[in-house]
Amino acid sequence: MTATVKYTKDHEWIRVEGDVAVVGISDYAQSQLGDVVFVELPEIGRTVEQGKEAAVVESVKAASEVFSPASGEVIEVNPELEADPAKVNSGAETDGWFFKIRLSNPGELDSLMDSAAYKEFVEGLH
């Protein structure tokens, strides 16, 4: 199965696997935040909307909202982040995923950037 990864301008990523998608923050985002000390994850069963707050990531510098890249129902959260939030730093786009949703409107994904476009977007920020 080939997975598609897309990015938002708020530096979240979403990896679509069928009608389920995994969400996290980009490697660029974690490098900007510094050491992550706490992640507040949504409740399982909660409905999230594209562009609306779904989680909070807290580093030694700041606490920031994480916006959901797409709408849907939260079906799983990363259980390891509670005990080891540093996983967001070591593997922002792998082990450090935040939550999984069942997509309610896959068409929304068309508005997001692919990996090449996001890379260009980040370079434009400097």
Partner 1 sequence: MRYLPLTEADRHQMLASIGVSSVDELFRDVPQAARRSGPVEGLPNFAGELEVERQLSAMAAKNVAVGSVPSFVGCGAYKHHVPATVDYMVQRGEFLTAYTPYQPEISQGTLQVLFEFQTQVALLTGMDVANASMYDGATSCAEAVMMANRLTRRKKAILSGGLHPHYRDTTTTDARFIGFEAVAMPAAPRGGEDLVSLIDADTSCVVVQNPDVFGHVRDYTDLAQMCQTKGALLIVVVTEAVSLGLLTPPGEMGADIVAAEGQSLGNALNFGGPYVGLFAVKEKYVRQMPGRLCGQTVDADGRRGFVLTLSTREQHIRREKATSNICTNAGLCALAFSIHLSLLGEEGFTKLARINHVKAVQLADRLSGVKGVEVVNETFFNEFTVTLPRAAAGVVEELAKRRILAGVPASRLFPNGKNGGQLEDHLILAATETTTESDMDALVKALSEVL
In angstroms, give the least distance from the CB of 58 to partner 1. 5
Binding residue for partner 1 (CB under 8 A) from 44, 63, 75, 117?
63
Considering the rule CB under 8 A, would residue 52 count as an interface residue with partner 1? no
Considering the rule CB under 8 A, would residue 65 count as an interface residue with partner 1? yes
| Binders of partner 1 in range 22-41 (CB under 8 A) | 38, 40
For CA atoms 46, 51, 52, 57, the dihedral sign is positive
Spatial neighbors of 72 by CB under 8 A, at least 6 apart, are 21, 47, 48, 101, 102, 103, 104, 105
| Binders of partner 1 in range 96-125 (CB under 8 A) | none
Of residues 68 and 118, the one with the C-beta less far from partner 1:
68
Binding residue for partner 1 (CB under 8 A) from 4, 9, 31, 62?
62
In angstroms, give the least distance from the CB of 41 to partner 1. 12
| Residues lying near partner 1 in the complex (CB under 8 A) | 38, 40, 43, 58-59, 61-63, 65
